[in-house]
Amino acid sequence: MRTGPRLLRRLIFRQTMLRFLGGEAFLVGIMMLADLFSSMWRLLAMDAPIGSILVWLAAGIPAHVTEVLPIAYLFGITLSLAEMHADGELLVVWGSGISVQSLSLPILAFSAIMAGTMFVANDMVTIPASAERDRLFRTMTGQKGQGSQISDITIMADGGSFVYRVGYYDPTARRIVDVDIIERNASGEFLARIQSPRADWTGESWKFQEARIFFRQASGGWTEKTEAEYSRPDLNEGPDSFGILREKPPLMKTAELASYIRVLRDSGLPSVEARTEYHKRFSLIFTPFIVYGLSIAFAGLFRKNSLLMSLLFSLSTATVYYVAQMLGALSSKTGWVSPGFGIWSVTVAFIVVSTLGYLKAKT
């Protein structure tokens, strides 16, 4: 990028960014109005304060920015190139020996930056804001919240070797209360049982207070002992495994979602929805590159009404992309296909189409 048409590249990049930001602001505004109108009757019925409603709307902005970003980005690039083609400027650029791929290199670089920023911002901004938005909506509509304590938890750990049944977990104190743990061997036979009114996390394992321990002897009988404080290094299932069960997969950060999937698998619980959400997080990284390749493919594709036809074709492609993603996620959640195949088959297909369009673009 240090050589070549720097002024032209700067021009096309500036035009793309202005249209992209304008389209993003317009679409986010539409999404906020849709949220407000769809929930206004419920909020008014519950006498929700106007300040809380405004905060609730503002908390949804990060999620809406991510949702409409592909359409706004596609709109910005396509409109800029189509306008240059409609005015004859793109023909002059091609005639001077400059390809559309070379002309759009700053946009390609920006797509890479956007991909990394989207992934990081999703964990740092979007998910916390969405969780706060969900909490505000439940508060304003009088719905019962999750609370700080999570009750009635049963999970498996170490591949089923330990089964934890917990009355409730206090994430603030990192304490589990009313604990009943079963230890099993590889064939599923009981080896030991631990009962305790509470256990505190030491950083490496759980320390049980006033524990009753039942051991199975070699003869097949059972023996019991009581200890004021009891701990074992293999009873080290982290507190996050108990606390993470209170959240919805879309409201979990990526690392929390991975831990949640592990807990579900170890406990023998369905994890399809969580795995689908996990794959969607990583497939989202490729969206700016897909949009960029499709936009370059549309440049100069139409001879008549190039501006209108380019916009129509790009919006139609974006609609197909969104519908395909929805169908892939739905197929994964219903068990028709695996979550990885349902999400990545759509992403890979559009990557291939986008790459071919980029390489075969008129120039």
Task: Specify the residue for token string 């999750």.
Answer: 146
Asked whether residue 144 carries a pLDDT value surpassing 60, the answer given is: no
Q: Is 160 exposed, middle or buried (0-12, 13-18, 19+ CB in 10 A)?
A: middle
Q: Taking 70 as the threshold, does the pLDDT of residue 300 lie above it?
A: no
Q: What is the pLDDT of residues 191-228, one digit of tens each?
A: 889 999 999 998 888 999 999 999 887 777 888 889 89
What is the distance between the alpha carbons of residues 256 and 262, in angstroms, rounded to a whole number?
10
List the structure tokens of 222.
Answer: 């059972």
Q: Which residues of 178-211 are buried (b: 16+ CB within 10 A; e: fewer)?
A: ebebbbbeeeeeeeebbbbebbbbeeebbbbeeb
Predicted confidence at residue 208, as pLDDT, reads 92
With a cut of 90, say whether residue 266 has pLDDT above it: no
Strand ranges of the sheet holding 150-157, from the earlier edge strand across to the other edge: 150-157, 162-170, 175-184, 190-201, 206-216, 222-231
Residues 6+ apart with CB under 8 A from 81: 12, 90, 100, 104, 295, 296, 298, 299, 300, 310
Place of tokens 């992934």: 119
Query: Where along the chain do its domains lie?
Result: 6-142+272-359, 150-246
The one-character DSSP state at 158 is G
Share of the chain above pLDDT 70, in %: 91
199 vs 90, higher pLDDT: 199
Q: What is the pTM of this model?
A: 0.73
Rounded CA separation 325/74 (Å) = 17
> How far, in Å, CA of 337 to CA of 343, rounded?
10
Structure tokens at 352: 């291939």
* Identity of the highest mean pLDDT range in 74-78, 114-118, 185-189: 114-118
Cβ atoms of 104 and 80 closer than 8 Å: no
The confidence score (pLDDT) of residue 286 equals: 92
